[in-house]
Chain A
């Protein structure tokens, strides 16, 4: 990780995609600029120290009208855990009925975050 200098980011907090500049010194964040809302500031600080993402995927469904249930991590997880997360979902089959928000896999890949259903079936 960069400790000194400027880093330009595109905020992914919302579809606006604001260009955000983070100034670093000695591993510390000196300033954040360019963001147009507080989400941008929060995103930028996290992105340069501990980048995280929401992960969305699917698992197989049984007994309902659909083949697959869409799922997501309930909160964002560290970026470097994304593939561990989807690997952990491999082979999972859930039985209908399933509702939005039902926990499909608790504490995915040791992140402390649950994977939940994002559709009913």
Chain B
């Protein structure tokens, strides 16, 4: 019997797990995918929003602002990439200026600091590639960008280091109330827990509806994105949003923490909770709209496109709390944008609710810091030389686009909750994320994975399950 079972190893589930690991609790995270950060958390805009979007007084607004404020310290404690680069909401029509003003005022009401409206000339100076049509913009100095994988993995690793167990490839199929606590049926057997946290992303309605008569519905809202080469990474230096207006909701253009340029997303409601396929119409829309606020975008430099699903709940509000009539079952549902920004605050809030229920003691052994995978590119020349002398694997470049070494890949595999697939290695080290999109490095990463995991090349997958990279050996069917 666990004290707490968390369903879902996305960013909310892992943030919650890490917060709860401050207490003397037996905690287990159940995840149906083969790794953490496999759903909504892995495919989004990677923005740390300032907090002027959400309605005044909403939980979304509160947790957004709190999450934003926690981000800097957390990124240092848990060693993930975060840069507070600021954002601009661009107004391209004097007629829409009232909407810009309204956004500013909402931000002030939400407690957002560092907001101001900048006029045309200053805007041009700040962002030379801003559209010629731009008349003004709302500048939010507290907005930033984050590595979504890095943050999710950091929460998970830190939780694991503090005793939280993780079960991957484990899909929840049913939940029943027991006399004391809950019985969770999975495709890998049964689990029992006193308290259950539903952090199942786009599947949070399925999980919720297993225990409650008050049904909820989460609609997967697909967003298509294009990622541009690092050569385009400096095209803008802040997150550039479009002002929602008579032309609908525009797409954003932003640098990423790794120096690429990201444009997107679309917003297309779908029924398929695994429907992360991009479409021609979606990608065309991204390419068309991206140019509205930023000029001369080098769209020839697109290196990949992808789609993610936001867990949209019809009231567009985070649904966090103990479910009525289901004691000890805590929802953490409807976590769509600004969910990534809010996740540190979501973790604290959900953990607080669980703490109220279980009244645990503090965990005196809790360690709140974690070291990420060493990136030799961040070392000084001397430090790097020392590292190479000690660990020659850091001298062996595997991914030549992102200059990722064998040392980093081995670290990614060997550490707790380590990578087991090509995508797992990619999210942790960036090997395969560069301009050749794994063309050169994937056979070599497969070799390292096979060696480190004691598997054959034939067993290595792209992302677990049936995603095997090779299907046999030469001539086996002849």
Taking beta carbons and an 8 Å cutoff, which residues of A are in contact with B? 58, 68, 83, 86-87, 89-91
Distance (whole angstroms) from the CB of B310 to the closest CB of chain A? 44
How far apart sit A67 and B475, CA to CA, in the bound complex (Å)? 15
How far apart sit A86 and B476, CA to CA, in the bound complex (Å)? 11
B residues less than 8 Å from A91 (CB atoms): 475
How far apart sit A65 and B162, CA to CA, in the bound complex (Å)? 43
Within 8 A of A (CB), among B437-478: 474-475, 478
Distance (whole angstroms) from the CB of B444 to the closest CB of chain A? 13
* B474 near A58: Cβ-Cβ < 8 Å: yes
A residues less than 8 Å from B475 (CB atoms): 86-87, 89-91
Query: Could you write out 9 A-B pairs with CB less than 8 Å apart?
Result: A58-B474, A83-B478, A86-B475, A87-B475, A87-B478, A89-B475, A90-B475, A90-B478, A91-B475
B residues less than 8 Å from A58 (CB atoms): 474
B residues less than 8 Å from A68 (CB atoms): 474
Decide if the interface of chain B is mainly helix, strand, loop or mixed.
loop
A residues less than 8 Å from B474 (CB atoms): 58, 68
- Further contacts, 9 of them, CB under 8 A, given A58-B474, A89-B475: A68-B474, A83-B478, A86-B475, A86-B478, A87-B475, A87-B478, A90-B475, A90-B478, A91-B475
What total of A-B pairs shows CB separation below 8 Å?
11
B residues less than 8 Å from A87 (CB atoms): 475, 478
How far apart sit A86 and B477, CA to CA, in the bound complex (Å)? 12
How far apart sit A91 and B475, CA to CA, in the bound complex (Å)? 8
Distance (whole angstroms) from the CB of A33 to the closest CB of chain B? 39
Distance (whole angstroms) from the CB of B370 to the closest CB of chain A? 38
B residues less than 8 Å from A83 (CB atoms): 478
Distance (whole angstroms) from the CB of B267 to the closest CB of chain A? 47
How far apart sit A18 and B172, CA to CA, in the bound complex (Å)? 64
B474 to A, closest residue via Cβ: A58
A residues less than 8 Å from B478 (CB atoms): 83, 86-87, 90
How far apart sit A62 and B299, CA to CA, in the bound complex (Å)? 47
How far apart sit A90 and B474, CA to CA, in the bound complex (Å)? 8
B residues less than 8 Å from A90 (CB atoms): 475, 478
A92 to B, closest residue via Cβ: B475
Distance (whole angstroms) from the CB of A93 to the closest CB of chain B? 12
How far apart sit A11 and B475, CA to CA, in the bound complex (Å)? 29
How far apart sit A75 and B123, CA to CA, in the bound complex (Å)? 71
Q: What sequence of 0s and 1s flags, for each residue 136-152 of chain B, a beta carbon within 8 Å of any chain A beta carbon?
A: 00000000000000000
5 tightest Cβ-Cβ pairs between the two chains A and B = A90-B475, A87-B478, A90-B478, A58-B474, A86-B478
B residues less than 8 Å from A86 (CB atoms): 475, 478
B447 to A, closest residue via Cβ: A67
How far apart sit A83 and B474, CA to CA, in the bound complex (Å)? 13
Distance (whole angstroms) from the CB of B381 to the closest CB of chain A? 32
How far apart sit A86 and B478, CA to CA, in the bound complex (Å)? 8
How far apart sit A58 and B474, CA to CA, in the bound complex (Å)? 8
How far apart sit A87 and B475, CA to CA, in the bound complex (Å)? 7
How far apart sit A83 and B478, CA to CA, in the bound complex (Å)? 9
How far apart sit A86 and B475, CA to CA, in the bound complex (Å)? 8
Within 8 A of A (CB), among B230-285: none
How far apart sit A58 and B473, CA to CA, in the bound complex (Å)? 11
B residues less than 8 Å from A89 (CB atoms): 475
A83 to B, closest residue via Cβ: B478
Distance (whole angstroms) from the CB of A56 to the closest CB of chain B? 13
How far apart sit A42 and B478, CA to CA, in the bound complex (Å)? 32
Distance (whole angstroms) from the CB of B271 to the closest CB of chain A? 45
How far apart sit A19 and B314, CA to CA, in the bound complex (Å)? 66
